[in-house]
Amino acid sequence: MQATVCFGIALSVFSFIADAASQTTANQQALHAHLFTSYEAGEKPYCGGAVNVTLDLALRQVIDLDEPHQILKVSVWIRLSWKDCRLVWNSSEFGGIRSLVVPARYVWVPDITLFDSVSPELAGLHEFRPTVHWDGGVSYNFPSLTLSLCPLDVEKFPYDQQTCRLAFGSWAYNGLVMDLMNKKPEGDLTSAVEHVEWTYVSLTAERRVMHYGCCPEPYPEVTFYLTLRRKPNFYLTSLVVPSALITLLAVLGYYLPVESGEKVSLQITVMLSLAVFQQLVSDKLPPSADTTPIIARYLSFSLYLVGMTCLMAVIVIATYYQGNTAMPLWFYNVGVIKLSKITFVDVENDDTLLLIRNNIGSPDKQHITYLERSPTENYTKLLFDPGVSTPKIDYTEAWKKLATNIDRICFFVFINVCCMGLGIFLYLFNF
């Protein structure tokens, strides 16, 4: 008996639910027939004045920012709302139905276009389902994958910040028949998926009224400015720090012996490494005649600096191996004597500077005068005074001392210029 009662109650509930569902379906069908029997989706609603369309944008994810081609690929959620006076009904006459979801092809949808888009039309505009409300309001939220042009300023790469412009407007309707406005002063970033390379700074909205040369009517548009800040850690560890360390490797060439030919090999290797890093930067960034990335300028500066170091290494080695070639007096005084005071090369007590192959004959008064002078002055007179009868002199040691002086001067100059360049580089980045 109890089981029979429970079965009867369940059957009654099921019948009630089935009747309610059937009645709801009938009401929806009746409402659908009421709204769309004579409705023309291709015609804009004329309800006394311009149709006010509200646009809002939510960023879902930055898919890619193609820097060489300056194209931004983003996934967004577009939210449109407007009123269509042809879609009004009394909810009490249709079972209390206050909203109805229909395919986009059933209702008029504003022809919103993304200006500066790479694709011919706004993806998703006619592929999803808007919601129609009893008072004629239509809300249409749909996802879209957009590709648009985004001019980049990469001067401070990899510490740069980019602002990409997403401008939406109607292509067919001017502002007198369809007005477009933003819902809020800022777009929605709450649902954005984090990007591995970029940080989302802001998404601001601005309404502008444009006038074009073709038509006297105003054309309103809503522009969203997406500001992105690059995460520099990857490029800092893989590009900036290695390029600076490679430049400093050129210093090791000055620790090699003056006569070593490996100095040139080392400098050439450093130059090739810097050229590779420069190519990596060029492949990553867009070509621009307006601005050059600071890091590219630094790499070019380092490349030129190491190139000059390589050239000076060749000159130093060539000087070292001059052998017994005669050296002018003034050149010796400047290149050996005076520069040695700056480079701290000891030439005052170096007896090997004066190599006499034959014994000196009986000293006369002139020779005694030389012997009373300092070793450096004595060597200078013996080496370069044509009025003194001297044995054959070997100039090899003088050329070696000159090469050492030049090498040390180049070392001092390289260190100072390298530090100055690095300091200017950091200053331009506002470190």
Q: Taking the domains of the chain in order of start, what are their residue ranges?
A: 38-231, 232-431
Q: What is the pLDDT of residues 365-400, one digit of tens each?
A: 344 333 344 444 444 444 445 454 444 556 777 788
Average pLDDT taken over every residue of the chain: 81
Q: What is the pLDDT of residue 200?
A: 96
* Model confidence at 348: pLDDT above 70: no
- Of the pLDDT bands very low, low, confident and very high (cuts 50, 70, 90), residue 2 is low
Residues paired with residue 209 on neighbouring β-strands, in sequence order: 220
Cα–Cα distance between 64 and 3 in angstroms, integer? 64
Q: What is the pLDDT of residue 393?
A: 56
| Mean pLDDT (whole number) for 318-325 | 81
Q: What is the pLDDT of residue 404?
A: 83
Q: Which has the closest alpha carbon to 311: 416, 396, 414?
A: 414
Least confident of 35-39, 100-104, 248-252: 248-252
Q: What is the pLDDT of residues 402-424, one digit of tens each?
A: 888 888 888 899 999 988 988 88
Q: Which residue has the higher pLDDT, 20 or 199?
A: 199
* Model confidence at 241: pLDDT above 90: no
- Of the pLDDT bands very low, low, confident and very high (cuts 50, 70, 90), residue 359 is very low
Alpha carbon separation from 137 to 107, 147, 189, 371 (Å, rounded): 12, 30, 25, 113
Q: Does domain 38-231 have CATH number 2.40.128.20?
A: no
| Mean pLDDT (whole number) for 134-152 | 95
Rounded to two decimals, the pTM is: 0.76
Cα–Cα distance between 156 and 105 in angstroms, integer? 48
* Model confidence at 252: pLDDT above 60: yes
* Model confidence at 195: pLDDT above 50: yes
Q: What is the pLDDT of residue 240?
A: 83
High-pLDDT (> 70) share of the chain, %: 80
Task: With beta carbons less than 8 A apart as the criterion, state whether 380 and 333 touch.
Answer: yes
What order do you get walking across the sheet with 198-212 strand by strand?
112-114, 161-170, 215-230, 198-212
- Of the pLDDT bands very low, low, confident and very high (cuts 50, 70, 90), residue 92 is confident
* Model confidence at 345: pLDDT above 60: yes
| Mean pLDDT (whole number) for 232-237 | 88
Least confident of 21-25, 84-88, 123-127, 230-234: 21-25
Sign of the Cα torsion 255, 256, 257, 263 reads negative
Contacts 24+ apart (CB under 8 A), 324-332: 324/394, 324/395, 324/396, 325/395, 325/399, 326/395, 327/383, 327/395, 327/398, 327/399, 327/402, 328/384, 329/380, 329/383, 329/384, 332/380, 332/383, 332/384, 332/398, 332/402
Cα–Cα distance between 173 and 162 in angstroms, integer? 32
Q: What is the pLDDT of residue 25?
A: 77
Alpha carbon separation from 429 to 156, 160, 261, 303, 400 (Å, rounded): 6, 9, 38, 20, 44
Least confident of 38-42, 156-160, 250-254: 250-254
* Model confidence at 355: pLDDT above 50: no
Q: What is the pLDDT of residue 372?
A: 40
Q: What is the pLDDT of residue 7?
A: 45
Q: What is the pLDDT of residue 239?
A: 84
**Which pair of tokens denotes residue 380?**
């200078």
| Mean pLDDT (whole number) for 266-294 | 83
| Mean pLDDT (whole number) for 156-177 | 93
Least confident of 35-49, 65-79, 238-252, 318-332: 318-332
| Mean pLDDT (whole number) for 206-225 | 92
Max Cα–Cα distance, the chain, nearest Å: 153
Residues paired with residue 146 on neighbouring β-strands, in sequence order: 74
Q: What is the pLDDT of residue 213?
A: 84
| Mean pLDDT (whole number) for 319-328 | 78
* Model confidence at 272: pLDDT above 70: yes
High-pLDDT (> 90) share of the chain, %: 36
- Of the pLDDT bands very low, low, confident and very high (cuts 50, 70, 90), residue 343 is low
Residue count of the chain: 431
